Amino acid sequence: MVQTRQMAKLAAKAPRDRLSKLPNEILTQALSYLSIEEIAKAKEISRRFSNVITSIDTMLFRPHAQMAAQKLIDASSRIMQTDGKPRTFYQQLAIFFSHRGIQAKRQLRKRDLNVFVRQWQKSHDPLPDQADSRWYIYLFAENLLDIHVHFQGTADERESYEHLVITSNFDDLAGHAEDAKIHLPWTTKQPYTDKNQSVRSLFKLIRDKGLVDPETGAVPKVVRDSTDSGAHLPRYPLTQLGYKLVDEEFKGMRDGKRRRQAGCCSQQRLQMVLGGSDELLPTLPWTRHFAYCVSDSKTYRAFLAERKAIGKGVETSWLFRARLVERMFLY
């Protein structure tokens, strides 16, 4: 009993915050292993923690920002086919739609297919030996999507997936494959299909497993959407999408959709907020149908506030840059 009381007295005299007694060098090293959010919360522990973290903002948060930027570059290079990895047409299409989603409305699906085909044609050779090669590639891509939706989607999704191209051939994939070989003979060769994979086996693969991302195993889902709601657009875009809408087309749109269509800043402005050349983000492709986005309103509002502060000559903290880049993705 006596020992217990003595131990209690010693514990009461002992400092509660032993970490604050550490030298700055050791404290900085310890904090560097935490996540951005954990370090930000650590600022609230004590005044010393707050002062130390504020004084070494660059040392703590710059590595986090650079790692997040590199992850974004790696992810976007797969979508935009700039990482140099040889992939078949089917594989790259699966990567694109597993990231972007398959829109139920034909108008929206057509937009995304055009974006994909343009990117494919920019980075691949040879192309089909036809005058209008883009249209033939587009037709092949839409056929693959139709098979995916028919066998992987629900009845409601199939119903909303307007204008199926091959509705009469789903029960005869072998016959459909022969038709493709006759009318689109280049689909049997690389880089459209693997040298060990026939068009027929490709159709069966999509029937059984869907358009599977070869690296992550992700299977894209059909998204039921409406052109009126604008839900197919990024909710919090950080750069312009560039859909070339005129003022007349903006009339009647809801404010949220109008804002998402127009975007809120240019890519150059985003680089300025992130510290100019310190943060290297992937360049948006010439099609301009991509945008940097964040998924939550809190980060979006913080970005807008920071953008105003930059205009007044306030320097962006590395804590903010790291938080922004970590929440950023390419749509």
For 78-96, give the secondary structure using H, E and C: HHCCCCCCCCCHHHHHHHH
Q: What pLDDT sits at residue 164?
A: 56
Among residues 112, 81, 111, 124, which one has the least CA distance to residue 282? Answer: 81
Same domain for 34 and 101, yes or no, is no
Same domain for 250 and 288, yes or no, is yes
Q: Is residue 259 part of a domain?
A: yes
How far is residue 141's CA from residue 164's CA, in Å, rounded to a whole number?
12
- Band of residue 17 on the pLDDT scale cut at 50, 70, 90: low
Q: Is the pLDDT of residue 278 over 60?
A: no
Work out the average pLDDT over 252-272. Answer: 76
Q: Is residue 250 part of a domain?
A: yes
End-to-end CA distance of the chain: 66
pLDDT averaged over the chain? 82
- DSSP single-letter state for residue 328: E
Q: Which domain holds residue 324?
A: 233-330
Q: Is residue 78 part of a domain?
A: no
Same domain for 189 and 301, yes or no, is no
Strands 292-294 and 328-330: antiparallel
Predicted confidence (pLDDT) per residue in 108-134, tens digit: 888 889 989 988 988 887 778 788 888
Q: Which residue has the higher pLDDT, 30 or 201?
A: 201
Same domain for 208 and 246, yes or no, is no
Same domain for 117 and 202, yes or no, is yes
- Band of residue 12 on the pLDDT scale cut at 50, 70, 90: low
Q: Using an 8 Å Cβ cutoff, are 319 and 61 in contact?
A: yes
Q: Is residue 305 part of a domain?
A: yes
Residue 155 CB coordination number (10 Å): 7
- DSSP single-letter state for residue 105: S
Work out the average pLDDT over 30-36. Answer: 77
Q: Is the pLDDT of residue 205 over 80?
A: yes
Same domain for 45 and 146, yes or no, is no
Q: Could you tell me the pTM of the whole model?
A: 0.81
Same domain for 172 and 123, yes or no, is yes
Q: Which of 55, 75, 104 is the last residue of a domain?
A: 55
Q: Is residue 140 part of a domain?
A: yes
Same domain for 212 and 92, yes or no, is yes
Tally the residues of the chain: 331
Three-class SS of residue 292?
strand
Same domain for 114 and 204, yes or no, is yes
Q: Is residue 66 part of a domain?
A: no
- Band of residue 250 on the pLDDT scale cut at 50, 70, 90: low
Q: What pLDDT sits at residue 279?
A: 62
Number of folded domains in the chain?
A: 3
Work out the average pLDDT over 42-47. Answer: 77
CA dihedral for 316, 318, 319, 321, sign (positive or negative): positive
Work out the average pLDDT over 65-88. Answer: 90
Q: Is residue 157 part of a domain?
A: yes
Q: Is the pLDDT of residue 273 over 70?
A: yes
Work out the average pLDDT over 86-111. Answer: 90
Residue 100 CB coordination number (10 Å): 19
Q: What pLDDT sits at residue 223?
A: 80
Q: What pLDDT sits at residue 216?
A: 92
Same domain for 211 and 92, yes or no, is yes
How far is residue 291's CA from residue 331's CA, in Å, rounded to a whole number?
5
Looking at the chain, the whole-number percentage of residues with pLDDT higher than 70 is: 83
Same domain for 214 and 94, yes or no, is yes
Q: What pLDDT sits at residue 326?
A: 92
Same domain for 285 and 166, yes or no, is no
Q: Is the pLDDT of residue 288 over 60?
A: yes
